[in-house]
Amino acid sequence: MSSNYPFAYKASWPARFLKPSLRGSISAPVPAEAVLLPRPEKSVRLAFVGDISAVANRRSPVCDGELKALLASADLVVGNCESPVVRRPRARFGTRLGTHHAMTCEFLAGALEATGMTPQRLVLSLANNHVLDQGIEGFDETLSTLGALGIATIGTSTAVTKVAVGPLRLGLVAFTQWRNAAAAEFAGRVAMAEGFFADSRDGMAGAQGVDLMCAVPHWDWEFRHFPRDQTQAWAERLAELGIGLVAGHHAHVVQPMARIRETLVAYGLGDFFGTALARQPWPGRLGAILMAEVSADASTRGRIASYRLVPFMRLRDGDRETLVPLDKVEGRPGVQARARWEAVCQGG
């Protein structure tokens, strides 16, 4: 398999999978929850989730009612579709091992129902390293299947996708730093980071008439709680381009939040469900949902009025996972996870 991972990244992967790193820091950290404006009279609620896959599950996940109600309350949910959605895997051996991702339409539909996300209020990014795990035919099938379900997609080009959410108009962009296949296979199908920044060198074309620009990058090194300097530099560049909200993924662990001038950055939301292996150590089972209230009032239109990073754990439940709010996780696992959350996400 051709990829663009540096050797040092590949060599460190096993150790970091077993023990995710807490080394590092970020510029301009902010708390996991804050009110930024007086409460607007009119607003829309956005939810951002991390990586979605079926690798660690044979059955769709179970979701705590509190989390389901939270996601159901959102006017729009945005996440990362980490697995091709196919009837049957083409890379059978790799899929069994978990190195190649895949999920069926039935699995995805069951997961959406369990988590309170309806297709009409959902946008999924396809800009990630696993999207071609089942080949070009699997990629094409994924686009067709998601379209048939009524799920909008982003990340297949560097162009701005405009989405009407209540009285507001959002602009969405997505790109991936990493790929698991040859550059020629990704070209013209998946937005890569270098292409995105090259195309936006002179500004964000297509952002006219948008109230809030949001970026969904698949970036940074896996199993590290604090983003690398390159990732932070890209966040700075996104702020310069006028992106108002950044919700990242790929690290498979939660990462902190920052505010770069007016731009709110969630560096990494971790896995939403099923992305890593079934025997994943507990730090990788800690994820987050980013909720953002965006003003629709005339004087503050398109500005983030408040935000909240909601932590949860993915607990094993036989051949599937159960998503539970972090404060409901009991015993030693809960104590460990809450300490890790405080260490990573309560800065500012």
Per-residue pLDDT of the chain in tens (348 residues, 90 and over written 9) = 589 999 999 999 999 999 999 999 999 999 999 999 999 999 999 999 999 999 888 899 999 999 999 999 999 999 999 999 999 999 888 888 888 999 999 999 999 999 999 999 999 999 999 999 999 999 999 999 999 999 999 999 999 999 999 999 999 999 999 999 999 999 999 999 999 999 999 888 889 999 999 999 999 999 999 999 999 999 999 999 999 999 999 999 999 999 999 999 999 999 999 887 777 889 999 999 999 999 999 999 999 999 999 999 999 988 899 999 999 999 999 999 999 999 999 765
Residue 165's pLDDT is 98
**Please, is 347 exposed, middle or buried when counting C-beta atoms within 10 Å of its C-beta (0-12, 13-18, 19+)?**
middle
Which pLDDT value is given to residue 58?
Answer: 87
Predicted local distance difference test score (pLDDT) of residue 205: 85
Residue 279, pLDDT score: 77
Residue 141's closest CA among 130, 128, 131?
Answer: 131
> Running DSSP on this structure, what letter comes out for residue 276?
S
The pLDDT assigned to 1 comes to 53
DSSP 3-state of 51: strand
Pairing of strands 62-63, 320-325: parallel
What CA–CA distances, in Å, run from 173 to 53, 84, 211? 21, 20, 14
C-alpha 220: how far from chain center: 12
At residue 348, what is the residue type? G
